[in-house]
């Protein structure tokens, strides 16, 4: 199937009380593992890449790789820019064929964040590409972005309302207690804050930093309007752990077609667990 807009995927989830998994694909092996397992489960998915992954793979190669993989499956697949770091990056991804954009101005002053996001929305709207943006500061490490716990900042609900209205975004990513990367202990999500945001912002909510969040908290978040849930760290850890485990047992193996297999299977198993958790399996009839 050709790449689709994330809008149709996310709004179906939003209106039907489930969420779509947005999985970070750092290489071809992870991409294939995610798409093949999601296809087996009949689950729509979002493949997302950060600017760091784009720099690693190359923009045109990234788009071609995802398009070719999506065309081999029967489920809807959207290609999303995660944490776009500038207007220029967002425009390059739009022109290259991304079907969903996040522009992250959360490090900017409130008015500057609005100005940046609005400029991306104005460019993406005529192309039919939806835009996600963040207000508040989600902690942890994502590519070269490192926000320590002291500098993470929860989203103010009234500011969220103004932000959503003045930017015209399609999806909203608030900071309510999650973080990127590995958690040292279970995160404490502020569902009271999320509830206030839901009352004031009539948009699908995006949960960043979902790797390691307890299942019961992810399920609870869906009742607060969360319709897109991002996973990255758990996929990378599963891939690396399985790969290291195989090479520990087979230290002389040099064929990537052999040592990547258990790594891909480990990623696929994580993807299946997340899809079942979010309630997105069997949403698409797959022959």
Catalytic residue set: 82
Q: How many CA atoms lie within 13 A of 66 on its CB side?
A: 31
Residue 199 to residue 248: CA distance in whole angstroms: 52
Residue 177's region, left for phi above 0, alpha for psi from -120 to 50, else beta, is left
Query: Would you state the structure tokens that stand for residue 221, as one six-digit string?
Result: 């978040």
Residue 208 to residue 43: CA distance in whole angstroms: 20
Q: CA nearest 101: which of 75, 69, 134?
A: 134
Residue 163 to residue 137: CA distance in whole angstroms: 14
Q: Are residues 178 and 224 in contact, defined by beta-carbon separation less than 8 angstroms?
A: no
Place of tokens 């399920």: 219
Provide the 3-class DSSP secondary structure of residue 267: helix
Residues paired with 205 in a beta bridge: 172, 226
């Amino acid at each position: 199937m050709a790449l689709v807009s994330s809008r149709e995927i996310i709004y179906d989830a939003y209106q039907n009380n489930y969420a779509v998994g947005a999985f970070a694909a750092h290489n071809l092996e992870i991409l294939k593992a995610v798409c093949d397992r999601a296809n087996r489960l009949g689950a729509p998915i979002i493949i997302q890449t950060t600017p760091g992954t784009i720099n690693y793979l190359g923009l045109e190669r990234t788009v071609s790789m995802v398009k070719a993989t999506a065309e081999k499956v029967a489920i809807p697949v959207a290609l999303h820019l995660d944490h776009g770091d500038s207007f220029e990056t967002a425009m390059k991804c739009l022109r290259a064929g991304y079907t969903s954009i996040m522009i992250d101005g959360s490090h900017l002053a409130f008015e500057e964040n609005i100005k940046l996001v609005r400029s991306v929305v104005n460019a993406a709207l005529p192309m039919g590409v939806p835009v996600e943006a963040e207000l508040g500061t989600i902690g942890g490490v994502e590519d070269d972005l490192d926000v320590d716990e002291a500098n993470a900042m929860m989203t103010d609900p009234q500011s969220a309302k103004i932000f959503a209205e003045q930017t015209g975004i399609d999806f909203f990513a608030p900071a309510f207690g999650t973080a990127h990367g590995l958690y040292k202990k279970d995160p404490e999500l502020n569902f009271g804050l999320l509830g206030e945001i839901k009352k004031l912002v009539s948009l699908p909510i995006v949960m960043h930093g979902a790797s390691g969040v307890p299942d019961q908290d992810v399920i609870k978040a869906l009742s607060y309007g969360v319709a897109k849930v991002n996973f990255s760290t758990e996929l990378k850890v599963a891939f690396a752990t399985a790969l290291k485990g195989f090479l520990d047992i087979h230290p002389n193996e040099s064929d990537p077609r052999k040592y990547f297999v258990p790594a891909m299977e480990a990623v696929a198993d994580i993807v299946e667990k997340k899809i079942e958790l979010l309630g997105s399996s069997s949403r698409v009839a797959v022959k």
